[in-house]
Structure 1
Amino acid sequence: MLGLAFAMGTPPGGAPAGGPQSALMNLVPLVLMFAIFYFLLIRPQQKKAKEHRALLDNIKKGDQVITAGGMHGKVTALDDAVVTLEIASGVNVKFNKGHIASVVKKD
């Protein structure tokens, strides 16, 4: 009969197992998982987004850029949200500013 009481999960006295310390120990793995996700996923993404915003803020007329789609071009005009690129002599194409992936050369 004593073996059956232990199998049911409560001590023979009828008191709940563990108490407040057990509840705290159940939260420790969740906190550790959040810390791991923060340092391995969230923080690097925020850092990369901040660098990309700085890159977009520093684009000026005459810079050679590459778009997210792989289009190379020279910046001929800037607006708040639109960048006009010259991809060939006399061929100007407008792109959203957020789609500029990198700056190759700055003039």
Structure 2
Amino acid sequence: GQKLSGSEQGALEDQLGHCWTLPVGLEGSEDFTVVVRFNLNASGKLEGRPTVEKSSGNPQFDASAVRAVQKCDVAGLQVPAGKQDIWSDVRVNFDPRAMLGL
């Protein structure tokens, strides 16, 4: 199947980064990463609940990434048209260094 291009993946991660807030007081959170899997419909709205596919090992950190997807869903994510098969199964690596510039 098709995959997101690098620029499409980057644009998606940029949108999610603006919705993401790291847990307050969580030491070493810049060293954590979590992979969150979710499904979007053709209009960029979330279908079902995002799930943690690969945990960081820290439940608070993992939950913050899931909340970011849900928060961005309020307005809907901007996704390119005509690629519904890609958006129906998305995985994003939440890495604070890359997404939040830490």
Please identify the structure whose Cα radius of gyration is greater: 1
TM-score, scaled to structure 2: 0.26
Which one has a larger percent helix, Structure 1 or Structure 2? 1
Answer 1 or 2: higher relative contact order, Cα 8 Å, separation at least 6: 2
